[in-house]
Amino acid sequence: MEDSSKFLAKDLINRHKDALVANYAVPNKEELFASISRNIELNDATLVSHYYVDPLIQEITENTGGFVGDSLEMAKFGSKCATQNLIVCGVKFMAETAKILSPEKNIYVPTYESTCSLDLGCPADELKIMKDQYPDRLLVVYANTSAEVKAMADWVVTSSIAREIIEELDLQGEKILWAPDKYLGGYLQKETGADMILWDSACVVHEEFKASGLRDLKKLHPDAGILVHPESPLEVVSMADAVGSTSHLIKASKELDFNKFIVATDKSIFYKMAQISPEKEFFEAPTGGTGSSCKSCAHCPWMGLNSLKNVDECLDRLINEIHLDKDLIQKAKIPLDKMINFNV
């Protein structure tokens, strides 16, 4: 498969960079916060947001009793909350996962445009062809995939539990077909020694982090710790003081004995890191380009399509609902439940 940046249409890149230049400044923040809070009460709704969305969305989510976390934590919280309507601020597969785990609820997204390069890079029909070529292997898929892909999988994993599940399957003598992230798959293969065949796809954000730039930044901040998400290239991962999921990196930023951190994941995670460790400094790991030449600029362009304005519009009108076929939900729930119940 080609570089994951092929999924970034020029207009999306431009809109994304315009939003970055705005530096999260919203002239009518108080007005939008008040409207969102009011619509949550009126429409029996709850916000759940990912660590990678605009910090202002994370702030209003917490202010209104919602939840900020990783994709699985978001879906779990949504299934337990009392409201009928759930607004998922993140990307499409996260909303689909919430619908799979809570089919009785109404699940909405601020925009249908918000997707994921890993999801786009792993079409269900193409993965089925590869799966049929390896009938002796268990299909283990990353959560960053469509409901259709999850429905054909033996296991679904998130980055927070992938290593433990792969290790257990390897101990059982199972051979694995992994999809879609080749860097996370390569990291798991290296760490566990499991027999894995990898689908060839990548996250457009994490793929841009470069070891050479990271080394240069480390020279400027020799006393900084390095935090890396395992969707990054292995050369970048090898430089890390801590490697793991978004939740793991946030925990490491608090617990590790550093006052500075260079962070190789989406920079919107700084909101939560700074919240729990306000005395510490956080720096973006360098990407493959700067200014006009970078594609992601250390921020997912699809996550960036979530805004206070479209969150408010979604809540006000209850638009952009996620619909999944009942049979698809039942099939996709099987491997998700296996993950949720693993080592419980």
pTM: predicted TM-score of the whole model, two decimal places: 0.91
Task: Please determine, for residue 3, whether its predicted confidence score (pLDDT) is greater than 90.
Answer: no
Least confident among 71-75, 112-116, 157-161, 167-171: 71-75
Digit-coded pLDDT (tens) for 40-91 = 999 999 999 999 999 999 999 999 999 999 988 998 898 899 999 999 999 9
CA 300 to chain centre: 9
The reported pLDDT for the residue numbered 292 is 46
Q: Give yes or no for residue 15 having a pLDDT over 80.
A: no
pLDDT: which is higher, 7 or 291: 7
Least-confidence region, from 201-215, 254-268, 288-302, 321-335: 288-302
202, 7 Cβ separation under 8 angstroms: no
Domains and CATH numbers, the chain: 4-116+302-317 (3.40.50.10800), 118-203 (3.40.50.10800), 206-293 (3.40.50.10800)
- For 325, which DSSP code? -
The band of 23, judged by pLDDT with boundaries at 50, 70 and 90, is very low
Residue closest to 140 by CA, chosen among 98, 169, 104: 169
Least confident of 63-77, 141-155, 242-256: 63-77
For residues 315 and 37, what is the distance between their CA atoms, to the nearest angstrom?
9
Mean per-residue pLDDT for 156-168?
A: 96
Q: Which pLDDT does position 1 carry in this prediction? A: 44
**Predicted local confidence at residue 40, as pLDDT:** 98
Most confident stretch, 15-24, 75-84, 330-339: 330-339
Strands, sheet with 106-108, edge to edge from the N-terminal-most edge strand: 67-69, 45-50, 85-89, 106-108
**Mean of pLDDT over the chain:** 92
- 87-132 tens-digit pLDDT: 999 999 999 999 999 999 999 999 999 999 999 999 999 999 999 9
Between CA 122 and CA 145 the distance in angstroms is 7
Mean pLDDT, range 10-14, rounded to an integer = 63
Q: What DSSP line would sit under 96-158, residue for residue?
A: HHHHHH-TTSEEE-S-TT---HHHHTS-HHHHHHHHHH-TTSEEEEESSS-HHHHHH-SEEE-
Whole-number pLDDT of residue 9: 64
